[in-house]
Amino acid sequence: MKIEGVSALTLGTRDMAASVAFYAALGFELKYGGGAAEFTSFYCGTSYLNLVAVSASTRYPWWGRVIFYVDDVDAFYAKANDCGFETEAPPRDAAWGERYFHVTDPDGHELSFARVLTP
């Protein structure tokens, strides 16, 4: 028995329109919903990234970080910067064998875009 992957990740958002614009600008393809919806789903490879509307007063404790594997970390970093999104730092190679960078979405959810380094 083994875990084969993640079907979907669902994040709460206080501002659906801002979150949909953020993810669309990064290249996520809309599957369902949109800026005025209570629930939105994006294609994410063979999985999905879902957004669900929550109250503006909802507070998030630090929950962690979602990591998306991408084909070109530096291209995603350039795209995030071109969109005016604030990243934690430029892409870097990690001791555990990945190249990555972090960006935070409009609701404070931490995202990492990464690629396994080839030897």
Given pLDDT bands bounded at 50, 70 and 90, which one contains residue 3? low
Q: Which residue has the tokens 């005016």?
A: 84
Q: Per-residue pLDDT for 104 more than 80?
A: yes
Check which CATH number belongs to the domain holding 19 and give it.
3.10.180.10
Dihedral in degrees, nearest 10, Cα atoms 45, 40, 9, 72: 40
Judge whether 82 lies within some domain.
yes
Given pLDDT bands bounded at 50, 70 and 90, which one contains residue 62? low
Query: Domain count of the chain?
Result: 1
Judge whether 77 lies within some domain.
yes
Judge whether 3 lies within some domain.
no
Q: Give the domain range for residue 100.
A: 8-55+63-116
**Cα–Cα dist 17/103, whole Å:** 18
Judge whether 79 lies within some domain.
yes
Token pair, residue 77, equals: 């970093």
Judge whether 107 lies within some domain.
yes
Instruction: Please tell me the predicted confidence (pLDDT) of residue 1.
Output: 59
The pTM for the full model equals: 0.77
Q: Which residue has the tokens 């071109």?
A: 82
Q: Per-residue pLDDT for 33 more than 90?
A: yes
